[in-house]
Amino acid sequence: MNQKIDPKELKVLSDILALVLEDQPGQSANALEAIKKRAKKNATTGGALKNLFTNIVNNPPPRKTSNSQSKKSNDSADLIKARSQISDLTHSINQLDSAIRNLRRQNEALRSELLLTQRSRAEMQSALSVVQEKSPFKTVLVIVSLLCGLFFGIAGTAVVNTAFNQPHQPDNTIYLH
């Protein structure tokens, strides 16, 4: 990699690295994951990145460039390609960052909804337990009422049977003759 590094590209790369090395674990982890995914997508290896850093160290970007036309055309094609990759990486990082923010917002909304649901469930359980504490007398009353109804039914049936069904009495007058 003998091409000259554009100061703008160097700045973008340093911004990405600053995000990776950020003290806040969420941002640095997100930036690192975004770089990993983008490098995997573009088939960029760790060795290529290492060579880029070595090239930057060995050939720091000049303040003013004064190259010949042929060298500029070769370098410009490479620069355009590199800029394209860097802009793709930064765009991907920005998209992933916004997606992560949206997911975090959704996660918080779902957590608050879960908390409200749990509170509502607890209130319903306490109300149900209060109702159940009052209802043992009702269940006993229903059972007693059913038993009384059963006994009255049996007694009523016995009364009706004895009132309407007289046992057959044999005629004893035949014995008197």
Contacts 24+ apart (CB under 8 A), 73-80: 74/3, 75/3, 75/4, 78/3, 79/3, 79/6, 79/9
Distance separating alpha carbons of residues 66 and 82, to the nearest angstrom: 20
- Give percent of the chain with pLDDT exceeding 90: 28
Q: What is the pLDDT of residue 113?
A: 96
pTM of the model: 0.35
Mean pLDDT for the chain overall: 79
| Residue scoring higher pLDDT (57 or 131) | 131
Residue 157 or residue 75, greater confidence: 157
Residue 26: pLDDT above 90? no
Every domain of the chain and the residues it spans: 7-133
Residue reference for tokens 């009495």? 169
